[in-house]
Amino acid sequence: MNDFSVEVHGLTKYFGDYKAVDHVSLAVPTGSIYGVLGPNGAGKTTSLRMTLGIIDPDAGTSRLLGGHKPASVRHRIGYLPEERGLYPGMKAREAIAFMGALRGLDWSEGRRRAATFMTELGLERVIDEKIRKMSKGMAQMIQLIGSIVHAPDLIVLDEPFSGLDPVNQERLEMLVRRERDRGATILFSTHVMAHAERLCDRLAIIARSQRRFEGKVDDARALLPMQVRYIPRDDSDAASIAAILPGGATLRGDAWHFAIGDGDVEPLLARITASRHGVAGLSIARPALHDAFVHIVRQVDAGFDADPATDAIEEAATA
Ligand SMILES: Nc1ncnc2c1ncn2[C@@H]1O[C@H](COP(=O)(O)OP(=O)(O)OP(=O)(O)O)[C@@H](O)[C@H]1O
Ligand SMILES: [Mg+2]
């Protein structure tokens, strides 16, 4: 078996003069859930389309499921594109079977699996409902099922959570985990950090056309120092409390907030314990993936703002 189900190197795409994707490389381990995160317009969809061979890159290569051309392995791939669409006149079950048939699945088997999937996901009410009568989110769930009904080895989902209510989001998370447990590899894009944080074995962050981070969720969170929230039991002497805390500690309500390096946790606890201020509340935690994402994207944006060419334009504009 191949170690990586997706190996793309140096993918680059221009739209006119604009470089929408700039030397993006990804390696998605077989059997993992892999997230591609990034702000709007970062280049996620374009990267996924090049990965699947839907559009040709200007540079770079994509190897799927062990080096075959994307077309030769298309029956082993499931794809939910960013722009959704099903035939409005079809019933849900037929729409799913139809998508399966396009990827080589026997029609009656597709109908059978469609009913099973829909029942498991609590969607049995709409098995025989026509697509045109469905809400947007419901139709999206049908399309999602249709994209995996043929039990693909590689599943690529572009913003699968967008437009789903919290219950359907949870069902989708369950479905993604189950597909992974079956042995499938899942590559998906999202802006919703909470899903990525819960689901991803690894992730890449793309901002301004380039890959800016690659690793595990915890690696991303470790880019930022730990956040401490400390409530003294005796808060009568703020200056004396501030003296045992790192510089930059701020008091909001009755709690002190500050960041701390990994090696400074025990010394901090020792100082608090040795003091007369006591502990009425204390939490020390890694920031969430959301904070790491915002940090990385802001850094990239700041780099662009500091770009000499941009500075020159801004100077000219303000002169
Ligand atoms: N067919 C196209 N023609 C011209 N420009 C395009 C085309 N497709 C995408 N772009 C541009 O390329 C950039 C990247 O677009 P892309 O859709 O890959 O971003 P994205 O990360 O998927 O964003 P979103 O989070 O909004 O889905 C954007 O600036 C977009 O306007
Ligand atoms: Mg997109």
> Residue 196's closest CA among 292, 117, 121, 300?
292
**Residue 134 in contact with residue 144, Cβ under 8 Å?**
no
pLDDT in the model for residue 258? 94
Q: For the stretch 71-80, what's the b/e string if a residue is b when 16 or more beta carbons lie within 10 angstroms of its beta carbon?
A: eebbebbbbb
Q: Which domains does the chain have, with CATH numbers?
A: 4-220 (3.40.50.300), 225-285 (3.30.70)
| Residue range 234-261, pLDDT digits in tens | 888 899 999 999 988 999 999 999 999 8
154 lines ligand 1 (CB under 6 A): no
Query: What is the C-alpha to C-alpha distance for residues 200 and 36, in angstroms, rounded to an integer?
Result: 9
Regarding the beta carbon of 43 and ligand 1, being less than 6 Å apart is answered yes
- Tell me the best of 37, 44, 47 to mutate to test the pocket of ligand 1, counting ligand atoms within 8 Å of each CB and taking the most: 44
pLDDT under 50 in the chain at which residues?
A: 313, 318-319
Q: What is the DSSP string of 62-88?
A: EEETTTB-GGGGGGGEEEE-SS----T
- Distance (angstroms) between ligand 2 centre and the Cα of 8 equals 18
- Compute, in angstroms, the gap from residue 261 CA to the centroid of ligand 2: 36
What is the per-residue pLDDT for 1? 59
The amino acid occupying position 57 is P
Task: Give the pLDDT of residue 247.
Answer: 87
Which ligand approaches the C-alpha of residue 206 most closely? 1
Determine which residue's CA is closest to atom 29 belonging to ligand 1. 41
Burial 214-247 (b: 16+ CB within 10 A, else e): beebeebbebbebbbebbbeeeeeeeebeebbbe
Cβ of 41 below 6 Å from ligand 1: yes
Nearest-CA residue for atom 16 of ligand 1: 43
Decide: 190 in ligand 1 pocket, CB within 6 A: no
Whose C-alpha lies nearest to ligand 1, atom 12?
20
- Ligand 1 pocket residue status of 49, Cβ below 6 Å: no
Ligand 1 proximity of 55 Cβ (cutoff 6 Å)? no
Q: What angle do CA 220, 225, 226 make, to 5 degrees?
A: 100
CA of 43 to the centre of ligand 2 (A): 7
16 Cα nearest atom in ligand 1: 4
Q: Which is it for strands 154-158 and 77-80: parallel, antiparallel or unpaired?
A: parallel
Minimal-distance CA residue to ligand 1 atom 14: 43
Ligand 1 center from residue 285 Cα (angstroms): 36
pLDDT at site 319: 47
Find the 307 Cα to ligand 1 centroid distance in Å. Answer: 22
CB 214 within 8 A of CB 204: yes
